[in-house]
Amino acid sequence: MEPRYPIGIQSFEKLRQEGYEYVDKTHHIRKLIELGNPYFLSRPRRFGKSLLLSTIEAYFQGKKELFHGLAIEKWEAEWNVHPVLHLDLNADRYDSCENLLEMLEKQLRRWEDLYETGGEGINHSGRFMTVIEKAYQKTGRRVVVLIDEYDKPLLRSFHDEKLQEQFRVILTAFYTVLKSADQWLHFVLITGVTKFAQMGIFSNLNQLKDISFDPRFADICGMNRQEIEDCFQSGLQNLAAWNNLTYEETMERLTRRYDGYHFSRHNMMGIYNPFSLLNVLSDGTFENYWFASGTPTFLVEMLRKTDFDLRELDGIEVIASSLMDDRANINNPIPMIYQSGYLTIKSYDERFQTYTLGFPNEEVKYGLLNFITPFYTPVPSQNTPFYIGKFTQELEENDIDAFLTRMRAFFGSIPYDLNDKTERHYQVVFYLIFQLMGQFIEAEVRSAIGRADAIVKTNDYIYVFEFKLNGTAEEALKQIDEKSYLIPYTADNRKLVKVGVEFDKETRNIKRYLIG
């Protein structure tokens, strides 16, 4: 029987009853219950937050049969049933206050019918308080509150400050009930993509314990390599056979493409993107499943508005407090990009309390760079791989003239409104071209002093590029020699090629180049 992968399945009950594959995370639920705090957890979209809440809901509903063979079954003896209020804000449309109020109204009515409150309360927050109190009184057990995607209305309206403020007022009043109702609450978990909306929404909920960076729960969502190899052996073997790969090659490709998320500086265990992993096991094809499931348009707009230097994105250093800050800052897009899953923790400097961030894997890196390119060049996103593929082929054939002629045409077609900024804009376009070539061959863009602007390695050649925005092609070649950029590659059997490129600010294009 073929394995059934729970792609898009957010119901733990359905998953267990219908025989879908499941990676056991119930040991984490046990830890959460034992600690007994009200919790907050942020994780990127499609990382399993909804399934986590559904699992917790089933546990507190006493559905023991669903947990047969799982870690928590060995621990739990009583399986006490608690009233569970599960609020899911993961709706597609939040373009008006009416949409949000309608969502809350629908949920409140369902709870009010269940606990026979008669709709007492003068507003939504008052009715929520009544439901919690009556649920406790009616069952004799304290209430469990689970809120999924608490920030979805704010993310959907990020472009509209007025609507954001209206949403913030509504949600603040609603969520603040959880502090006043503490005497009737047994367990609280709130999840979302970001924590920045907390400044306005959760300012009074200072009892919430944020476990987003807690090393004990680094893999509460997503999967580590051991879990994948333990749970999906048949799927991994099939994937290897379908792609004519060995098992080791299959794991290496999965790791390079979908692994690399780190959610704690104290626990650098690599976490694989669960959505992409399940899809590739199901389809047998290595595609950008997670990236294609939601485009980061508003994040790219933030990068453009702040004139952020894209070359700093991979390897940027930030102070630790900025990732934990609860203030969304339109002038600093990096924390939002991190929370959304397009950057992850690469290392931590204990002395200076700074994180180094970078792309978690190839899916995110090339997906994001391909998506960003049309915002800086005239190339439509669907045609970017074609253009980059041509650049790559020309270097593989050692046709540098064709390569630079194509690059000259590339720059010449950039509209004035995209190319009227500083010299940095030209450098960013160079950066995008060479970074994207890394999808097909080994290409590096300078990331440290003492390195050429770009290095490209093909089967037969190693190219060392130096670009001069305020100098000549001769000076570029001279710098390659004087700075000894070739020394790291002299032991290589491939032919070394030096390319000095001179850029003309007046024509906004490549003026001359020399090959050495």
Q: pLDDT exceeding 90 applies to what percent of the chain?
A: 68
The C-alpha angle 484, 488, 489, rounded to 5 degrees, equals: 105
Helix (H) or strand (E) holding 504: strand 495-504
How far, in Å, CA of 313 to CA of 298, rounded? 16
The residue-averaged pLDDT of 187-204 equals 77
The residue-averaged pLDDT of 63-70 equals 95
pLDDT tier at 199 (50, 70, 90 boundaries)? Answer: low
The two tokens of residue 393 are 């082929």
From 391, 394, 388, select the one nearest 374 (Cα to Cα): 388
- Report pLDDT for 375: 81
What's the pLDDT tens digit per position in 240-295? 999 999 999 999 999 999 999 999 999 899 999 999 999 999 999 999 999 999 98
The domain made up of 12-217 is a member of CATH 3.40.50.300: yes
- The CATH number for 377-515, chosen from 1.10.3470, 3.30.1760, 3.30.1490, 3.40.1350, is 3.40.1350
Gyration radius of the chain over CA positions: 26
Asked if residues 289 and 8 have their Cβ atoms less than 8 Å apart, the reply is no
Asked if residues 130 and 116 have their Cβ atoms less than 8 Å apart, the reply is no
What's the pLDDT tens digit per position in 334-361? 988 999 999 999 999 999 999 999 999 9
Q: What residues does each domain of the chain span?
A: 12-217, 225-288, 297-358, 377-515
The two tokens of residue 486 are 């070739």
Length of the chain in terms of residues written: 516
Sheet containing 344-349: give its strands across. 317-319, 354-358, 344-349
What's the pLDDT tens digit per position in 134-183? 999 999 999 999 999 998 998 888 778 899 889 988 998 999 999 999 99
What's the pLDDT tens digit per position in 224-239? 999 999 999 999 999 9
